Amino acid sequence: MRQQCDIKNFRRRIISICENNAKYKNCLKHGLALKNSASKIFNTALLVVGVLCGVSYAAGLGAYSGGFERIPLTTEAWARGNAVSANPEYAAAHINPAKLGFVQGFQLSFGNTIRPLGRYENFLSAEYKIPDTRIGVGGVFAYRGISNLDGLRYEGEIYNSTSFINTTLKLGVGAIISRNWSMGFSATWFYSRMPVAFIPDSRDIKTNTNSTIGGLTLMAKYRNHRGFTGAIGIRDIFSYSDWSYKEADELFINTIMDTMPMLFVAAAEYEFTVLDTQTVKVSADFNGYWINSFFQRYEHVALSMNYGFEWSPNKVISFRTGIRDILLNRNFFADRPTWRDENNPRIGFGVGVNLETIPNWNLSRKFGVNYAVANSGAQAGLEHSVDLVFRW
């Protein structure tokens, strides 16, 4: 026999606790210390959602699963408020595969982000334009995890430390279909290892792994010679996690289906020149939450907005800033105080150095470095990101 559990109600209960706790670990401790019901599937669901809450909670958007897909990946995205979907400089297979058609040559990038409370995120990206064609291909491998998840409580007892690991591999292809338009497609492999149950006798926490293929992304990109770039598309079609756990002394298999939202994306970037030598970029991303990745409609529609700005006084250095996760939902009209509580926008700042443009410095040619800092959604500290970009 097979039992299925909808974790939506459990997620809401823990999110309500998270909103009153600034620290991530407090969120987990209080969330996982909720009174247990008779069913062991409730315990499993509660633990899974507690981890998801701490990892992916983002303002009022924490009610939607798959928050790791909405967290900025690159340093450029961290600095510009994640408003880079129209024209990402790198990691296009993850952000907008339609950009792959406009890639020049070969590009390799990798980066690391250090987040408060022991969270780390890393990525490795490669992009290549097939010679004498209009087609570009790319791939991005991303790791997000908590290496030492400790202090978890169950029925008043503190359990041994464990870990949470989430990895994704996105492979994409993009093609120029006209002078101004390109189309792109990517698919995703998800792998996660997550705590699923407490073991009272040993004080250990059982972990389970999950691996799925899905996460389809379809994007279209438009650009003209006046500096305007636009993009529209859908992300995370058929994205889900299917967690199963069987007690040794039971005949039942407890199952949790965690379905991610399907994001409707519209983005724009405008680039213009000031004083003949200085370049300015202004960008915006709009993400719509209407249905999940299996085309089931949400009870309420929501919109999140990201805005970014970049100023380059010369060809070597760029200064960036942005704000992300501005939420617009039904509470904006029906319950303004609740809407203000649900909103927790993040502000980022960063700098990029394009050493490729420095004359007669051969060691640095085709090389750039970026740094960004942003505030944490849990107000638990600052998040720092750095990455390197190589071009051939």
Give the model's confidence band at 146: pLDDT under 50 very low, under 70 low, under 90 confident, else very high: confident
Specify the range with the lowest mean pLDDT, choosing from 41-55, 119-133, 200-214, 347-361.
41-55
CB atoms within 10 A of CB 109: 23
Is the pLDDT confidence value at 349 over 70?
yes
Give the model's confidence band at 148: pLDDT under 50 very low, under 70 low, under 90 confident, else very high: confident
Output the CA–CA distances (angstroms, integers) from residue 239 to 65, 97, 171, 257, in the order listed: 10, 17, 15, 11
Give the model's confidence band at 31: pLDDT under 50 very low, under 70 low, under 90 confident, else very high: very low
Which SS3 state, helix, strand or coil, does residue 355 take? Answer: helix
Q: What is the pTM of this model?
A: 0.76
What's the pLDDT score for residue 48?
Answer: 38
Output the CA–CA distances (angstroms, integers) from residue 325 to 59, 247, 298, 332, in the order listed: 7, 39, 19, 14
Summarize pLDDT for 250-270 with one digit per residue, the tens.
444 455 556 778 889 999 999
Q: Mean pLDDT, the chain, as a whole number? A: 77
What's the pLDDT score for residue 302?
Answer: 86
Which SS3 state, helix, strand or coil, does residue 363 take? Answer: helix
For residue 166 the two structure tokens come to 């989430």
For residue 63 the two structure tokens come to 């009610």
User: Residue 58 burial by CB count (10 A; 0-12/13-18/19+): exposed, middle or buried?
Assistant: buried
